[in-house]
Structure 1
């Protein structure tokens, strides 16, 4: 952050602190083993989008890794709201991370139950979250072999390979990557992947192979209510390239059209009608339900 920016207030283990005063131990398991989970919640009009979905997924991630739940839903909501107020966030994101904590040394074995989880939250102001330039132009993606571990349904902080994939995409002059496993698209680096053919929305079914996207779940609910046809199944890069439209969903991207895959234009090469409609629908409905 530049000197012109005021310091953010962040949350660490029960305290609200200036960002440069927040400290965690070098022995924290989040740092040493990526033994931590996270969530990112969008903020529009100073309110949380899909908050309960994020809390439910957080609880599930913690349970899958046997990390104890340090805070209730109500306490988490209070912290989110306090950070929004203290940092004057109108549009932006709140990042939440919970690690297994600091056992005081490095050991592969999990520490005893009395080691408290480390809880960190911070805000990111994104003034054009709703009116994002990429939503108007669409994004270009490249296919990348999916070399991640097999429990992508747990939202852990081990994001090295998605980070490498983002860099591969950047080097190739694209915006993002779509992971491919056994010939089929799994998901994007930080988002779920979709194609549209003859008016039908096609996206991979939920399993351990992909993250159970909160924006995905909410958007599909809204799409069903709007009488749109949805099929959950695997699809290939070739099928995606010959689709009428493609798009991604994620907490920070909402619904963003994909206009090119591995150098091949999708449909007209412009953001598709259904993707544009779904973005409007999602923002409108999520805004109404925000807390």
Structure 2
């Protein structure tokens, strides 16, 4: 159970700079420098593992239920049998303990990685093994409420066919991001070459949206060509609630460059406008009105999570201390 007082995790230590980082590895809480994984772990030898990253703001994991649902889905797709803790309140207790052990830093990234487990290196696994479970916190700075625009850089999408699986095998993403940085941009915008044109899929670590001349908010549909982003999902919900026309459909590089607005979404950046792609300015190189509106509304959504449970948390009441407890 993750217990919150006034929207914060209870039991978290006062801010201390001398607290060593503690991680959860295979049922044990250990200092990060003492955490050891076998050289025969399939996550190490094959990249045979799944991961998930959740922002934790003021002790509250944002949209934790959706992140864990995606983790379960990815594990199911590659036939990793998740340990029971991912189906009970035990996971919330682990997160709460890690927050307490690591001291009260303001914000974190909660990183979870599940590998198939340890076995002699062989493509075919001939025995049933126990998955390796890693849960750790990394320091995280919440994005500014009004962010500067960033530059995008077009890179052909050379990833595998199952991009909907959040696998740790992301070398192609890393190389695409490096190509963007080498070109002076912040994000790689990936595209597939199809008979109908060069179709924008997503960013190397984000989803991509455009706002067209009719003020329609457009993003690639959920299928095996993209990772279904949690922030993407929330932004679509917010846009629909504001009576914006949202279209989940493919769009080309030409449509991207001709758009009124372009923005990216991800758990680490929330919503961030893209003011140019390569040498081409989007509109006049300014962040558009719709992007700014969605940026503001998404931050308000996050703020609300810091004080109240989201709709899928289970609420209990401690009448002796008047402390609300939320089971994640």
TM-score category, normalised to shorter length:
over 0.9
- Tell me which of 77, 81, 84 is aligned to 2:99: 84
State the aligned residue count: 283
**Cα distance change on mapping 1:111 and 1:51 into 2, 3 Å:** farther
Q: Does residue 110 of structure 1 match 2:125?
A: yes
**Cα distance change on mapping 1:271 and 1:84 into 2, 3 Å:** farther
- Tell me which of 53, 57, 66 is aligned to 1:40: 53
- Decide whether the 8 Å contact of 2:143 with 2:268 is kept in 1: no
Root-mean-square deviation (CA), in Å? 1.6
Q: Shift in Å at residue 81 of structure 1?
A: 2.5
Q: Does residue 27 of structure 1 match 2:32?
A: no
Aligned to 1:98: 114
**Structure with the bigger percentage of helix:** 1
Query: What is the TM-score normalised by the length of structure 1?
Result: 0.93
- Decide whether the 8 Å contact of 2:39 with 2:45 is kept in 1: yes
**Cα distance change on mapping 1:100 and 1:94 into 2, 3 Å:** same
CA distance in 2, matches of 1:81, 1:131: 26
Aligned to 1:75: 90
Which of these two proteins has the greater Rg computed from alpha carbons? 2
CA distance in 2, matches of 1:101, 1:259: 43
Q: Shift in Å at residue 158 of structure 1?
A: 0.4
Q: Does residue 179 of structure 1 match 2:195?
A: no
Query: What is the TM-score normalised by the length of structure 2?
Result: 0.83
- Decide whether the 8 Å contact of 1:130 with 1:283 is kept in 2: no
- Tell me which of 143, 149, 154 is aligned to 1:138: 149
CA distance in 2, matches of 1:266, 1:110: 49
SS in 2 for 1:137: coil
CA distance in 2, matches of 1:48, 1:89: 14
Aligned to 2:139: 125
Which consecutive aligned stretches of 4+ in structure 1 deviate over 6 angstroms post-superposition?
Answer: none
Deviations 1:172-204 (A, max 9, x none): 111110111021000000110000123211101
- Tell me which of 223, 248, 261 is aligned to 2:264: 248
Q: Shift in Å at residue 80 of structure 1?
A: 2.1
Aligned to 2:76: 63
SS in 1 for 2:155: strand
CA distance in 2, matches of 1:256, 1:47: 22
- Decide whether the 8 Å contact of 1:215 with 1:251 is kept in 2: yes
Q: Compare 65-74 and 168-177 and name the one that shifted more.
A: 65-74
Q: Shift in Å at residue 214 of structure 1?
A: 1.0
- Decide whether the 8 Å contact of 1:215 with 1:249 is kept in 2: yes
- Decide whether the 8 Å contact of 1:49 with 1:287 is kept in 2: no
CA distance in 1, matches of 2:123, 2:235: 39
Q: Shift in Å at residue 15 of structure 1?
A: 1.1
- Tell me which of 166, 169, 192 is aligned to 1:155: 166
Q: Does residue 17 of structure 1 match 2:30?
A: yes
- Decide whether the 8 Å contact of 1:96 with 1:120 is kept in 2: yes
SS in 2 for 1:136: coil
CA distance in 2, matches of 1:97, 1:261: 33
Unaligned residue ranges in structure 1 (runs of 5+)? none
